[in-house]
Amino acid sequence: MQYFRNIGLSLILALASCTVAEDPKERPNIILILADDMGYSDLGYFGSEIATPNLDTLAAGGVLFNQFYNAGRCCPTRASLMTGLYSHQAGVGDMIKDLGHPSYQGYLNQNCRTIAELLSDQGYQTMMVGKWHLGDNPDHWPQKRGFEKFYGIPQGGGVYYYPWPKKDRNVVLNDHILEVDSGYYVTHGFNEYAVRFVEQAKDDKRPFFLYLPHIAPHFPLQAPQEAIEKYRGRFSENFEEFRKKRHAEIKRKGILSKSWKMSPADSLVKNWENLSDEEMDDMDLRMSIYAAQMEIMDQGIGDLIESLKRTEQLDNTIIFFLSDNGATAENMSHRYPELTGSIGNYNSYETYGRSWANVSNTPFRYYKSFLYEGGISTPLIAYAPSMFGQERMNDAITHVVDLVPTMLDLAGAEYTSDAGVNPLSGMSFASQLTGGNSKNVGSERTLFWEHEGDRAVRKGAWKLVSIYPENKWRLYNLKEDRTELVDKSSQNPELVTELETIYQDWANEHGVLDWAEVPVIKERLEKRRKK
């Protein structure tokens, strides 16, 4: 490890164009941590009220990418994260249901290779702990896509307490469904097995890759009572005041430009002053549970870091942390009416609501599944102080498709594929981690999104976005207006046409369908018209 500390990252990058090093331990371990439905400003480092000291340490001591994008929702982001492809190319253009088209089949296809498959070929141990959400069928579970070890929830969604009354989710170790004790809390289970796998990896001669996709802080609101009580009373204030405090800290730290105004709350966000005392207490309780879920995740990440220190692996490990999408405005309070327990316990299924999601996504507009910045922006933290340069804030325009090529570069590995496997869509930003110029990744690069009829393209500073079913293109200059307050489409019709053409070319090439023309969706719409 002292050798690794001395040579720095430059030799690792040089290895990318060569054969794998004879001694695999000369290559770094890689840990990829994914939060679920975490808003842009939910970390304490961003001014949040939530205690996340371990992630704050990673943010303060690592490289923070402040123009990093996800794919807008859980399954598409996970597909791109695993493959380095836009999700439609990998077969997961939407969620895990088969919508009757290869781009929307709901599980990873054979035209892609996962980062686990790629790194396994290059001599890495591959381990996963957490929520998969890339195919319910056992034939599509992690161990069929390159992971040697797996502990977690292969299905989508998820709850925190097991066994769950609905019994449609399972905790799995490798290919075996586990019987867990009553009161089992999934984040504690994930934290425990992440540490266990890392400590076991020490005895293997190979470097390791650990993928740790948490359920937290995704709904439902469920957490131990003592963790909830720590926060009770802290969220008894106007929603807008929390947004102002967070925005001030984001600007103070230089995470986002001071010239960008905070987006206004949308019309469906509740006015705190109009709430009754009972409603205010309910709002405080919901955010207290959400905060508890975040803090427990953070505590486990702290335990993981301590295990790396204890086993003398930290200096040889690169840690990435991001969220799969922005905070969610979904209202699931009545999804399972038969679950009648009080909010926060195992027999309840509640969300924290649009008003708190608006706080979580400070300073951006909208939420998870929308392609405004509030849905697709996530902070990316890359932590490895003994290997990375001293530049801590990076404004390179980067995307979740970039993580696979970046991790391959860092591992000194090449992208290998068989006939019929798509070439990578992303670009490596490994050079950014040594303090390189953001133009190396591409300040003028072009990125694309599509999710359930929402469409977007960003080229350099300009972003064109359309929300389904309105289907009206809006144009924003993100260099001047990252919070998307001023639509400039009417002043720039030629640019709108240019970007729309670029988008359509990408959509045609990547198997993207007009949402209303997806076979299952088209059938539903036709049934509605007949009624």
**18 carries an active-site annotation:** no
Name the token pair of 269.
């966000």
Residues paired with 31 in a beta bridge: 210, 319
Q: Which of 75, 101, 112, 133 is catalytic?
A: 133
Name the token pair of 218.
């995704």
The residue ranges of DSSP E strands in 182-306, in sequence order, are 184-185, 208-213
Name the token pair of 127.
């381990």
Biggest alpha carbon–alpha carbon distance for the chain? 71
Determine the Cα–Cα distance for residues 449 and 373; give it in Å rounded to an integer: 12
Give CA separation, 475 vs 43, 177, 497, in Å: 30, 49, 11
Residue 243 makes CB contacts below 8 A (sequence gap 6+) with 262, 265, 358, 359, 362, 363
Element containing residue 469 per DSSP (H, E):
none
Q: How many residues does the chain have?
A: 531
Name the token pair of 48.
């949040």
Determine the Cα–Cα distance for residues 476 and 484; give it in Å rounded to an integer: 6
Name the residue among 186, 192, 189 with its Cα closest to residue 222.
Answer: 186
Determine the Cα–Cα distance for residues 218 and 190; give it in Å rounded to an integer: 15
- Residues marked active site are found at 74, 133
